[in-house]
Amino acid sequence: MTDVQVPDPTRAVAHPAHSTTSVPAEPRPTVLVVGPRADARGGIGSVQYVLEQHASALADLEVVTTHRDGSAGIRARTMAAGTLRAARRIVVDRPSVAHMHVSQRASVLRKGLLGLVARTCGVPVVLHLHGSEFLDWFDGLSRPARAAVRGLLRPHRLVVLSETLRAPYSARLGVPPDHVVALPNPVEWPLTLPPVDDGSVLALFLGRFGARKGIYDLVNACARLAPEQRRRLRLVAAGDGEVDGVRAAVAAAGVDDVVEVAEWLDRAERDDLLRRAQLFVLPSAAEGLPMAVLEAMAFGAAPLVTPVGALPELVHDGVNGTMVPVGDPAALALSLESLLTDDAGRAALGERARADAEAYAAPHWAARLASIWADA
């Protein structure tokens, strides 16, 4: 695929001094973006926030919300109203591009039908796939259902989160390889403060509580630490989902002195913790490219993660973080012990993590996204 240069709307066009003919500026593309609210919980909401903050300088955006946090009734009404509004905007406005965030299951049906409307109207479709379990979900469908998904998802460009995902998505969905684009998730570049050295180590877990994210393995690992390591570690686990289940697991393991369980944090609360954290732990069983890991690395926290999804492209064991096997609390405990003991090594991992995360900074990501829109 050939990169298409996207005009910079902030840059004036220079003309020779003797020229009297004005050159009209290229029109800005109009992009209909369909997905969650920018303040929705989870990685797609974080991506949408960055998109609205940074890509609006490169295109005229109209955002249609099809998901928001709240009760089942609120979510259903948002989904129905947003889907109808998006279809109407495609038919009436004929935007330059329709950009649709997709996870899996019902999201595939909604965005697939909107894609069908867009193709009928001659509007190019960019599908942005985020679902960490999409491939497993797709493979578990019946043959007719897989054929139906392929028929619905026929985008002009398919955006996936890593290079390693391009081939499997192309093969499963029948999208030509040169129409599948790897675009890792972005991160807002934060200002950091010098860490406060009080002898303790602050580690964070941020995400939806449940077995898939490995939170119970992490609680188990904390219980395996030696007493001197437990005295140094303070782990704040914040999220939604199985909050009561995690609190019960912490109590049953007897690690109340180590693990603080909090509910979902807003952006300011999260960033305050990330500025003070030295470790970020996410021992997931399945991921795409988790925004929380990118955000933690940008703040200089050393990541301790599992080799799932696109994480092996981001975190390199012993270089800018630590890798542990999936579902292995004993290995997780050994890695935690090593990171708690080696202060200089832990700090070096965090410094390298922040340096490596700069490649994912939001302005670069927005420019790449605009080139994908132009190419579509």
pLDDT for 48-95, tens place per residue? 999 999 999 999 999 999 998 889 999 999 999 999 999 999 999 999
Does the fold of domain 201-359 match that of domain 30-186+361-375? yes
Model pLDDT, residue 185: 94
Model pLDDT, residue 7: 38
Amino acid letter at 348?
Answer: A
Write down the residue that tokens 């132009």 correspond to: 374
DSSP 3-state of 305: strand
Q: 30-186+361-375 domain in CATH 3.30.70.80?
A: no
Contact between residue 186 and residue 375 where contact means Cβ atoms under 8 Å apart = no
Who contacts 215 (Cβ-Cβ below 8 Å, separation ≥6)? 205, 207, 209, 237, 239, 242, 246, 249
Question: Quick one: pLDDT band at residue 209, thresholds 50, 70, 90?
Answer: very high
DSSP 3-state of 60: strand
Give the whole-angstrom CA distance, residue 152 versus residue 170. Answer: 14
Mean pLDDT on 283-287: 95
160 CB-side CA count, 13 A:
25
Higher pLDDT, 13 or 50: 50
Amino acid letter at 312?
Answer: P
Give the whole-angstrom CA distance, residue 161 versus residue 19. Answer: 46
Q: 201-359 domain in CATH 3.40.50.2000?
A: yes
pLDDT for 315-342, tens place per residue? 999 999 999 999 999 999 999 999 999 9
Model pLDDT, residue 42: 87
User: Can you give the residue ranges of every domain in the chain?
Assistant: 30-186+361-375, 201-359
pLDDT for 221-230, tens place per residue? 999 999 999 9
CA 256 to chain centre: 30
Backbone angles phi, psi at 97, to 5 degrees: -150, 145
Partner residues linked to 98 by β-bridges: 32, 125
Per DSSP, which regions of the chain are E strands?
A: 30-36, 60-67, 97-102, 125-129, 157-160, 180-182, 201-206, 233-239, 259-263, 279-282, 302-305, 322-323
DSSP 3-state of 328: coil
> Could you give the strand order of the β-sheet that contains 302-305, starting from the edge strand earlier in sequence?
259-263, 233-239, 201-206, 279-282, 302-305, 322-323
pLDDT for 32-41, tens place per residue? 999 999 999 9
Please name which of 51, 50, 130, 64 lies closest in space to residue 95, comparing C-alpha atoms: 64
